[in-house]
Amino acid sequence: MRPLVAGNWKMNGLRASLDVSRDVCSALARGDVSADVMIAPPATLLMAMVGVCAGSNVSVAGQDCHTAKSGAHTGDIAAEMLRDAGATAVIVGHSERRTDHGETSALVHDKAAAGHRAGLMAIICIGETQAERHAGQTLAVVASQLAASLPPSCDARNTVIAYEPVWAIGTGLTPTVDDVREVHGAIRRDLETRFGSAGSAMRILYGGSVKPENARSLMSVAHVNGALVGGASLKAQDFLDIIAVCET
């Protein structure tokens, strides 16, 4: 399965940061790239980054979308607008959206469907909190988020799952390789039960403190088909080092 390495810039980056995407594009232009590479910048940089990345191996994604095509929703962005701006994908259900904005799996389901409606790939995020892990509820939480967040329109081409344990995001902590194997294996079984062969072919990314130093062991785990990278994607060399690991 061709891996996907996606950088989520979150609420980081001014125009000068476009240089990071420029550096990533030019480094990747020098060789054959055997992974899909994507950056999700803040909305203010999206169109400019599409211009920077035009003709390169790097595609551009939104970080969130509204469920409606248009309308009176101040501050929101429709999936169709992301597509019109040149994005090919949208992240939905990131834990920071679920926490900061009270997003439920039902809303995430509708946002993913909106992404599909607009012709975007939906990167659907799930993951347990520290309290849930300590309570032994990880697999139950992940299964219920997965069941409720994925619309029927999901297929292997338009959907990517990102498993991001909330407690591993931005903390430098990561689950053990055995823990990642257990969760990714459970996600794969759930996807296959619901979507059949499409579920076997859907990529499942790991996210949460992925760095050049730990990427190799995380990416070697069965059913880890790439990475969703936060902080380390803000530095071109770190992001490139992670991409290099995912390719091998």
What is the contact surface with ligand 13P in residues (CB under 6 A)?
Answer: 8, 94, 164, 169-170, 207-210, 228-232
Q: Which residue is nearest to ligand 13P (CB)?
A: 230
> Catalytic one among 94, 116, 184, 223?
94
CB of 231 to ligand 13P, least distance (A): 3
Of 50 and 215, which CB lies nearer to ligand 13P in the complex structure?
215
Q: Which residues pair with 162 in a beta bridge?
A: 125, 205
CB of 32 to ligand 13P, least distance (A): 26
Q: Can you give 116-174 as a three-state secondary structure string?
A: HHCCCEEEEEECCCHHHHHCCCHHHHHHHHHHHHCCCCCCCCCEEEEECCHHHCCCCCC
Instruction: Give the span between the Cα atoms of 1 and 230, in whole angstroms.
Output: 23
Beta strand spans in 74-154 (E): 89-92, 121-126
Of 64 and 110, which CB lies nearer to ligand 13P in the complex structure?
64
Instruction: Give the span between the Cα atoms of 10 and 128, in whole angstroms.
Output: 19
Q: Let me know if 182 is a catalytic residue.
A: no
Of 81 and 242, which CB lies nearer to ligand 13P in the complex structure?
242
Of 8 and 57, which CB lies nearer to ligand 13P in the complex structure?
8
Q: Let me know if 134 is a catalytic residue.
A: no
Instruction: Give the span between the Cα atoms of 58 and 52, in whole angstroms.
Output: 9
CB of 79 to ligand 13P, least distance (A): 18
The set of catalytic residues is: 94, 164
